[in-house]
Amino acid sequence: MHTFQKYWHIFWHLRKLELMRMMEYRGDFIFFSFLSTLWTIFNFFFFSLIFNVSDTIAGWSADEMYLLLGTFTILDAFTWTFFYHNMSSYTRHVFTGSLSMLLTKPISTIFLLTTAKNSYNNIFRFFIGCFTVYHYTKKLGVQPSVWDITLYCLLIFASLLLIYAVWFITATFAFWIEKLDNINEIIPGLRRVMQVPKGVFVGASSLLFTVVLPFGLVSSVPSEVLLQRADVPSIIWLLLSSVIAVVGAIKFFTFAIKKYSSVGN
């Protein structure tokens, strides 16, 4: 319990530091918040173009699809708020050799690597996502129970863990691969997979994006829970795969750290 309290305290202390940094560069915050809002609107606009010529995407109506996009927007807000900054900092530490500094700290290196940084530029994206989910749930006339909402939140959390863990595994390859500054662009590059219903993928692509690397489930399954048509195997696999990914990421980091060497930090 004491350890948990310590980490909880450190986590929020780090958020406070980042908030102070944000306040120092207020112009940046406003500018990039505006940009992130524009990209979010653009994403919805793109799908509205598709719905201009078609009624459904993989059996999902426009309103259902916007609900899914709302869920994706929530996940995307975390991607750019937490994941991108921490993973960039992680690979930079590995490439420059400054990871030694973190290894000597009296707290978990993985905790420090994955939570030290964040930005607040995507806070509006998060609220847009929440509002969209709320709006389209109402518009579709769906009345989710408390259990549905709890499960939705749990699945969102599992999806975030899955994305973060897979990203961490990818970034850990930095121990072996030099001259690959864009290693942190791989997971954001796969975001398109997350913003479409899982039914879009068929055959080999279905196996790849819903089983092997289940990014095709991260927005789909929570949205299906709200729409009260989720299938149990997908829910279980999303929860299970996030746990497997987290355990795998920790194991892989422990293995990879043996490869690490630096001089004079």
Query: What sections of 123-231 are H helices per DSSP?
Result: 123-139, 146-172, 186-189, 191-194, 204-206, 220-226
Q: Rank residues 32 and 120 by Cβ distance to other proteins and give the closer one.
A: 32
Rank residues 4 and 45 by Cβ distance to other proteins and give the closer one.
45
Which residue's CB is nearer to other proteins, number 72 or number 152? 72
Q: Long-range contacts made by residues 262-265, C-beta under 8 angstroms, separation at least 24? A: 262/97, 262/98, 262/99, 262/100, 263/97, 264/97, 265/97, 265/98, 265/100, 265/101
Of 92 and 109, which has the nearer Cβ to other proteins?
Answer: 92
Token code pair at residue 227: 């729409």
Residues that bind other proteins (CB under 8 A): 27-28, 31-32, 35, 38-39, 42, 45-46, 49-50, 52-59, 177, 179-183, 185-186, 189-190, 192-193, 196-197, 199-202, 205
Quote the least distance from Cβ 75 to other proteins, whole Å.
16
How far is residue 48's CA from residue 198's CA, in Å, rounded to a whole number?
Answer: 19
In the chain, where do the E strands start and end?
56-57, 60-61
Least CB distance to other proteins at residue 76 (A): 14
CB of 137 or CB of 195, closer to other proteins: 195
Query: Min. distance of Cβ 42 from other proteins in angstroms?
Result: 6
Least Cβ distance, residue 193 to other proteins (angstroms): 6
- With contact defined as beta carbons under 8 Å apart, do 99 and 187 qualify? no
* Cross-strand pairs, 57: 60
Shortest Cβ 189–other proteins spacing (Å)? 4
